């Protein structure tokens, strides 16, 4: 088959460049906005998703993790007494003031968990590393969870060291008037609120968070193997009063939904992605339409010599598809660069394969819509035009 | 002689600013295979309209049109391209080649539309270009060809699939007089050697001697039909006449 579509597309290099630039930027915009949405969404609930708990017990009507309010830790013992509960631990997520060496202040989120739980997480005769603890940090790059047992010990993600004025492990700061010594580092644990997470022991977190000694903010529950989770949830609800018992996925969704939709942050990002798509469609439609208009006489000739409309549609669709593939490849290439760069920053742009595939489909759709406008023009083309000069 | 195109009492009217204008008014005409028919007349006389109706590009308002013995006036719009593909080859005033395709690919497009694909299309395209003595220009783009060469590529394209009817609209208008005459001679040879019906719309009275019949149109009606009887002498191989024709192109 003579490569009419390809030749037409590559014939005018400047127009091709404009077309590809339009598609590339549309892809880039959509990737960045959807990637930001996904990154934000994942970040808002990362503590919950990585908690390794089956249930979160919170005060009544807590809408999201940062809004937890203290309750008596005596409920912990009621929970532990319920059959089917393998383990239950107190857990704190609480805003606090971090004081720089120069006296400046930053707001942080203190995350307090039961560090001694690590000694219970025995597997094959050895204590497992972090990430196996309920509510503990993950991606530890220096130090260990065990180091948090030291007095006033805290662990801070390296993405926020500069923000908090940390230059090395061992440095001492103040959190709400209490000493805090940095004993380790994680990597990639971002906070959506821009207040960095500071992991520490439950006891330290009570101090940093200005809570009473008998208070906790959450109780994390892990069910025994083989337990019916729905039944266990009902049991906890019936035995422990004045609390909500939320599955991890439910609490994760509540938190994501709050930050993404109740605050409007997510809608703004999604709207920007939609705008990117619309801008892309407009640019590509314009350029593909202009290319079609440039070759209108050729399409008229094809019709005159007997080509069915479907043949001409195929030529236009091939042009659109080739534009889509090239623009997508360029757009995704630039996007990958941005995604990698964002891994070193406080805002994550995520690009999982499923999203890359979705955006490819969107790019094809965008170019398909653009081609449809041109096809509509060609459909009404009078082949007798070839006799008019 | 076998009739290739039969036109009976054909009219074509257009609405222009609320007024109905008759572009053709009761035209009767038969075009035979092996014949070169020249259509002449002043601007607006209906030449191109008649050519478009004979080429199944335009539908008549009334009357009957037969192509290769089949009535086409009752066919639906979507069926007309099939008739064009099967029976008619077109040559246009401005050549209408695809500028982004080589000479060979221009011919292959027409072959592909007629169901010839791949290696067979390559082979046939080269043969058609050889028939118009352009085999050495297979890889050339239209921009690199002279006017005469472009029209020969257009002729090769029109011959793809071996249609029994060739319709040419002012095929010499964009060419100088020598090249134009040579292209018309080539069309005549193709008609006579291969028993095709060739209809040529032209303004150029200097080439009138090349056709077999000259039909004058005026105000949408046939005003006169003149039998010319000036068939070119040809040899069985396409002969010295065609060689000299190509040399001039």
Under 8 Å between Cβ of A122 and A174: no
CA–CA dist A1, B115 (Å, integer):
11
Determine whether the interchain pair B112/A1 forms a contact, defined as Cβ–Cβ distance below 8 Å: yes
**Contact criterion met (CB < 8 Å) for B90 and A384:** no
Predicted confidence (pLDDT) per residue in B51-61, tens digit = 999 999 999 99
pLDDT beyond 80 at B249: no
Positive or negative, the CA dihedral B176, B182, B186, B191 is: positive
Which residues in chain B are closer than 8 Å to A10, comparing Cβ atoms?
Answer: 100
If you average pLDDT over residues B212-236, what whole number do you get?
A: 77
Mean pLDDT of B196-214: 87
Architecture per CATH, B35-44+82-248: 3-Layer(aba) Sandwich (3.40)
Same domain, A285 and A219: no
Cβ contacts (< 8 Å) between B109 and chain A: which residues?
2, 4, 302
SS (H, E, C) chain A: CCCHHHHHHHHCHHHHHHHHHHHHHHHHHHHHHHHHHHHHHHHHCHHHHCCCCCEEEEECCCCCHHHCCCEECHHHHHHHCCCCEEEEEEEEEEEEEEECCCCCEEEEEEEEECHHHHHHCEECCEECCCCCCCCCCCCEEECCHHHHHCCCEEEEEHHHHHHHCCCCCCCEEEECCEEEEEEEEECCCCCCCCCCEEEEEHHHHHHHCCCCCCEECEEEEEECCCCCHHHHHHHHHHHCCCEEEEEHHHHHHHHHHHHHHHCCHHHHHHHHHHHHHHHHHHHHHHHHHHHHHHCHHHHHHHHHCCCCHHHHHHHHHHHHHHHHHHHHHHHHHHHHHHHHHHCCCCCCCCCCHHHHHHHHHHHHHHHHHHHHHHHHHHHCCCHHHHHCC
Q: Convert the pLDDT of each residue in B63-107 to its tens digit.
A: 999 999 999 998 988 889 999 999 999 998 889 999 999 999 999
Nearest to B85 by CA among A334, A260, A321, A304: A304
Q: Is residue A87 part of a domain?
A: yes
Residue ranges making up the domain that contains A150: 61-241
**B203 part of contact set with chain A, CB < 8 Å:** no
Same-domain status, A38 and A117 = no
Closest CA to B44 of B21, B65, B27, B18: B21
| Residue B38 in this model has a pLDDT that exceeds 90 | yes
B202 CB-side CA count, 13 A: 28
Q: Which chain A residues are closer than 8 Å to B158 by Cβ?
A: 305
**Nearest residue to B220 via CA among B56, B60, B8, B44:** B44
- pLDDT range class, residue B141, cuts 50, 70, 90: very high
Confidence (pLDDT) at A119: 42
Residues B26 and B10: beta-carbon distance below 8 Å: yes
ipTM over 0.90? The verdict is: no
Segment B126-137 shows an average pLDDT of 91
pLDDT at position A116: 77
The pTM of the full predicted model, rounded to 2 decimals, is 0.74
Is the pLDDT at B39 greater than 90? The verdict is yes
Q: What pLDDT sits at residue A253?
A: 94
Same domain, A9 and A150: no
> Does residue A347 lie within any of the structural domains?
yes
pLDDT of B246 over the 70 cut: no
A355 and A284 within one domain: yes
Q: Is A298's CB within 8 Å of B112's CB? A: no
One domain for residues A364 and A335: yes
**Same domain, yes or no: A223 and A94:** yes
Same domain, A203 and A325: no
Query: How far is residue A235's CA from residue A221's CA, in Å, rounded to a whole number?
Result: 13
Tell me the C-alpha distance between A301 and A305, whole Å: 6
* Interchain CB distance below 8 Å, A308 and B81: yes
Q: What is the distance in angstroms between the Cα of A383 and the nearest Cα belonging to chain B?
A: 6
By the 8 A CB rule, do A94 and A240 touch?
no
Tally of domains in chain A = 2
Query: What pLDDT is attached to residue A265?
Result: 80
Q: Which stretches in chain A have pLDDT values below 70?
A: 1-2, 117-132, 389
* B16 φ/ψ angles, rounded to the nearest 5 degrees: -125, 105
A297 touches chain B (CB under 8 A): yes
The shortest CB-CB distance from B105 to any of A2, A11, A386 is to A2
Domain contains A226: yes
Q: What confidence tens digit (pLDDT) does each residue in A186-225 have?
A: 998 988 888 999 999 999 999 999 999 899 999 999 999 8
Closest by Cα among A100, A112, A96, A256 to A192: A256
Nearest C-alpha neighbor of A220 from the set A105, A76, A8, A347: A76
User: pLDDT tens digits, residue range A246-258?
Assistant: 999 999 999 999 9
Nearest to A255 by CA among A241, A266, A270: A266
Is residue B142 pLDDT above 80, yes or no? yes
pLDDT-derived band at B20, boundaries 50, 70, 90:
confident
Residues A101 and A222 in one domain: yes
Instruction: Map out the domains of chain B as residue ranges.
Output: 35-44+82-248
The answer on A221 and A337 residing in a single domain is: no
Give a yes or no: residue A258 inside a domain. no
């Amino acid at each position: 088959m003579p490569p009419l579509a390809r030749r037409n597309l590559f014939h005018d290099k400047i127009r091709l460049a404009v077309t590809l630039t339009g598609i590339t930027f549309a892809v880039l915009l959509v990737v960045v906005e959807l990637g930001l949405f996904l990154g934000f969404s994942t970040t808002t609930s990362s503590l919950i998703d990585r908690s390794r708990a089956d249930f979160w017990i919170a005060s009544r009507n807590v809408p999201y993790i940062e809004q937890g309010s203290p309750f008596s830790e005596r409920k912990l013992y009621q929970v532990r007494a319920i059959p089917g509960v393998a383990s239950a631990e107190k857990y704190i997520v609480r805003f606090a003031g971090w004081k720089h060496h120069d006296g400046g202040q930053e707001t942080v989120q203190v995350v307090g968990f039961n560090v001694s739980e690590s000694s219970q997480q025995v597997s094959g005769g050895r204590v497992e590393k972090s990430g196996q603890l309920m509510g503990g940090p993950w991606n530890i790059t220096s130090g260990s969870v065990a180091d948090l047992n030291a007095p006033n010990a805290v662990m801070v993600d390296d993405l926020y060291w500069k923000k908090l004025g940390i230059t090395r492990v061992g440095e001492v700061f103040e959190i709400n008037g209490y000493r805090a010594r940095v004993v380790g580092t994680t990597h990639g644990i971002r906070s959506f609120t821009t207040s960095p997470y500071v992991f520490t022991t439950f006891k330290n977190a009570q101090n940093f968070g200005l809570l009473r000694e008998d208070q906790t903010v959450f109780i994390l529950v892990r069910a025994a193997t083989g337990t019916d989770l729905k039944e266990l949830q009902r049991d906890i609800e019936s035995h422990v009063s004045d609390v909500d018992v939320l599955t991890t996925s439910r609490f994760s969704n509540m938190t994501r939904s709050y930050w993404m939709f109740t605050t409007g942050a997510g809608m703004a990002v999604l709207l920007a992605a939609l705008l990117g798509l619309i801008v892309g469609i407009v640019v590509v439609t314009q350029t593909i339409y202009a290319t079609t208009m440039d070759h209108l006489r050729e399409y008229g000739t094809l019709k005159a010599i007997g080509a069915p409309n479907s043949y001409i549609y195929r030529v236009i669709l091939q042009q659109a598809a080739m534009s889509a593939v090239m623009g997508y490849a360029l757009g995704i290439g630039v996007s990958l660069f941005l995604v990698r760069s964002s891994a070193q920053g406080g805002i994550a742009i995520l690009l999982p394969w499923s999203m890359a595939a979705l955006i490819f489909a969107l790019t094809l759709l965008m170019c398909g819509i653009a081609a449809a406008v041109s096809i509509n023009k060609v459909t009404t083309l009078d082949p007798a035009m070839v006799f008019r000069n | 002689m076998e009739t290739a195109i039969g036109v009976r009492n054909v009219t074509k009217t257009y609405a222009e600013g609320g007024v109905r204008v008759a572009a053709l008014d009761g035209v009767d005409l038969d075009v035979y295979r092996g014949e070169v028919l020249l259509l002449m007349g002043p601007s607006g006389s209906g030449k191109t309209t008649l050519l478009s109706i004979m080429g199944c590009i335009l539908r008549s308002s009334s009357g009957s049109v037969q192509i290769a013995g089949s009535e086409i006036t009752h066919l639906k719009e979507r069926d007309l391209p099939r008739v064009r593909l099967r029976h008619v080859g077109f040559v246009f005033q401005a050549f209408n080649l695809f500028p982004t395709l080589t000479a060979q690919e221009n011919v292959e497009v027409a072959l592909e539309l007629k169901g010839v694909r791949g290696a067979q299309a390559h082979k046939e395209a080269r043969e058609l270009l050889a028939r118009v003595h352009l085999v050495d220009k297979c890889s050339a783009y239209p921009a690199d060809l002279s006017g005469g060469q472009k029209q020969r590529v257009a002729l090769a394209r029109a011959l793809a699939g071996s249609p029994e009817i060739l319709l040419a609209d002012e095929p010499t208008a964009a060419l100088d007089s020598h090249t134009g005459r040579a292209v018309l001679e080539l069309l005549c040879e193709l008609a006579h050697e291969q028993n095709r019906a060739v209809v040529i719309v032209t303004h150029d009275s200097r080439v009138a001697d090349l056709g077999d019949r000259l039909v004058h149109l005026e105000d949408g009606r046939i005003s006169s039909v003149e039998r010319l009887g000036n068939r070119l002498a040809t040899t069985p191989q396409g002969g010295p006449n065609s060689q000299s024709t190509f040399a001039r192109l």
